[in-house]
Amino acid sequence: MDLSGALRAIADCSVLTDADAVAGYVADWTGRWRGGPAIVARPRTAEAVSAVVWACAAAGVPVVPQGGNTGLVAGAVPPAGAVVLSLRGLDAIGEVSDGAVVAGAGVTLAALESFAAARGLTCGLSLASGESATVGGAAATNAGGAEVLRYGSARARIAGLRAVLPDGAVLDRRRPPVKDNTGYDLVGQLVGSEGTLAVITDVTWRLDPAPRARTVLALAFPSPEEAVAAVPVLRGLPGLLALEWSDGAAVARVAAHLDAPAPLPTDGCWVFAEFDGAPEAAGVVAGLLPDDRIAVAGPEDRTRLWRYRSRTTEAVGAAGVPVKLDVGVPLAAFAAAREAVVRAVREVADSAGIAMEPVLFGHLAEGNLHVNLLPGPSAPERGFSEEFAERLEAAVLEQVLALGGTVSAEHGVGRAKRAWLERQRGPEQVALMRRVKDAWDPAGLLNPGAVLEPEVRRRTSGDPGADAR
């Protein structure tokens, strides 16, 4: 029997091979990264996941685990001939005990949050893509989001998990003792491993008491320097849940996309600060800026203000296929980094005679800049070449490294950033990562080419690093 026949014989699993049906699983949603051709297996139980992984191991075929396919670094875009293992069918949610709930890998973050909210709790992970992004994907990528400063990234939210190892065996740490200080932290190693070490099937997610009433403030600072200077004041206020930023130009873009005029000037840098209750925060903030540069919204209308930040990715996607970078710098270097990024992009764009529009926004508390580069109106109709995209990327990332920052603050490495891993972490740490990979996945069949460069770098037509755009 061939592999698709063997997969079809597995109980509680459907299999897609038709090119149209498979299309949504082999490309990322931005349209920049495309892989395959691939078979898609859609198991509905952990046992079926194990059977799929076992069958692929027996056939020597690579497996690419995939959740909601909302990632931005091509971590779930399959190389040619791989099996995409979609975990979306594992969507059961258990009971809350010891402050945590076991959720199937395919439960969306939105579903987990409404489960939590119905019990006066929150999952503490807030992503704009939460309607599609899954618990398993969040665990595998150590997802961050808007509320990292209050609740931590996914790593801090995860109390346990169950995963299928590359030979089909099952590692069950769904309910480790609440206090357990025995041996290596295998759960911690799988969080953020981007599907390269094991396939996560269930996650034990910590739930916290939900905020009582959310108040969001938008502050339109005339410059990034003034925005950064306000951070210590804002961080010192009680109940702070989120501290985000957007270039005024990015806000203006969202406003135009939504046909909803921005309520404040868009000349400088907006800061969005959300609080648990705390109307007193508004009083303190009043000293930072004149009234006509401050907007406040309570629980009923908070999304009307937040949308100028949370819908930026959507507004960018509506305008074209961007080059996306996700960099972080120490807060003290934030304004200089923003300036250096804009300059570096302009220089590369000018030298190629292609106008580029940087859209800049992100997570201010962590010094995280999302740099989205869109071709301007005068760019060639078919966009730009991959070679040009790589030049833009290199120009930006060199600036960030020079300022002591990171080439991927939040979105991970995937296939898009793997060439930069060694620059960030150094050869010794990358060599150790390779030994970790070999220990978990000696045959190298789990998500090959994600995080680490393939041993012999080969750019084939099925390699999404090669044929994108």
By CB under 6 A, name the binding residues for ligand 2HG: 72, 128, 313, 324, 370, 372, 410
Residue nearer to Zn ion on the CB measure, 67 or 383: 67
Closest separation between CB of residue 389 and ligand 2HG, Å?
14
Residue nearer to ligand 2HG on the CB measure, 85 or 356: 356
Return d(Cα 466, Cα 454) in angstroms, integer.
Answer: 13
Backbone angles phi, psi at 375, to 5 degrees: -65, 135
Closest separation between CB of residue 256 and ligand 2HG, Å?
17
| Helix/strand/coil (H/E/C) assignment for every residue in 387-425 | HHHHHHHHHHHHHHHHCCCECECCCCCCCCCHHHHHHHH
Contact 369, 328 (CB under 8 A): yes
Closest separation between CB of residue 278 and Zn ion, Å?
24
Strands (E), 222-322: 240-247, 269-276, 294-297
Residue nearer to Zn ion on the CB measure, 356 or 409: 409
Backbone angles phi, psi at 348, to 5 degrees: -65, -45
Interaction partner, residue 313 (ligand 2HG, Zn ion, none; CB < 5-8 Å by kind): ligand 2HG
Q: Which residue is nearest to Zn ion (CB)?
A: 410
Relative to beta strand 83-86, strand 63-66 is: parallel
Return d(Cα 379, Cα 352) in angstroms, integer.
Answer: 10
Return d(Cα 344, Cα 403) in angstroms, integer.
Answer: 14
Contact 406, 333 (CB under 8 A): no
Interaction partner, residue 142 (Zn ion, ligand 2HG, none; CB < 5-8 Å by kind): none
- Window of 164-172, 213-221, 308-316, 409-417 that interacts with Zn ion by CB under 5 A: 409-417
Closest separation between CB of residue 72 and Zn ion, Å?
9
Residue nearer to ligand 2HG on the CB measure, 201 or 408: 408
Closest separation between CB of residue 320 and Zn ion, Å?
19
Interaction partner, residue 206 (Zn ion, ligand 2HG, none; CB < 5-8 Å by kind): none
- Window of 164-172, 291-299, 386-394, 404-412 that interacts with Zn ion by CB under 5 A: 404-412
Residue with the two structure tokens 């770098």: 457
Q: Coil, helix or strand for 65? A: strand
Residue nearer to ligand 2HG on the CB measure, 162 or 370: 370
Q: What angle do CA 113, 22, 154 make, to 5 degrees?
A: 25
Closest separation between CB of residue 91 and ligand 2HG, Å?
23
Interaction partner, residue 372 (Zn ion, ligand 2HG, none; CB < 5-8 Å by kind): ligand 2HG
Cα radius of gyration (the chain): 22
Strand partners, 172: 162
Sequence length of the chain is: 469
Interaction partner, residue 324 (ligand 2HG, Zn ion, none; CB < 5-8 Å by kind): ligand 2HG
Residues 54 to 73 in contact with Zn ion, rule: CB under 5 A? none
Provide the residue type at 144 as one letter: G
Residue nearer to Zn ion on the CB measure, 410 or 463: 410
Tally Cβ neighbours within 10 Å of residue 18.
Answer: 8
Closest separation between CB of residue 410 and Zn ion, Å?
5
Q: Coil, helix or strand for 362? A: strand
Interaction partner, residue 289 (ligand 2HG, Zn ion, none; CB < 5-8 Å by kind): none
Closest separation between CB of residue 309 and ligand 2HG, Å?
7
- Window of 187-195, 254-262, 344-352, 403-411 that interacts with Zn ion by CB under 5 A: 403-411
Size of the site for Zn ion (CB under 5 A): 1
Residue with the two structure tokens 């009234």: 291
Residue nearer to Zn ion on the CB measure, 28 or 410: 410
Tally Cβ neighbours within 10 Å of residue 176.
Answer: 16
Residue nearer to ligand 2HG on the CB measure, 38 or 468: 468
Closest separation between CB of residue 304 and Zn ion, Å?
20
Return d(Cα 234, Cα 236) in angstroms, integer.
Answer: 5
Backbone angles phi, psi at 366, to 5 degrees: -100, 10
Residue nearer to ligand 2HG on the CB measure, 205 or 361: 361
Which positions touch Zn ion (CB under 5 A)? 410
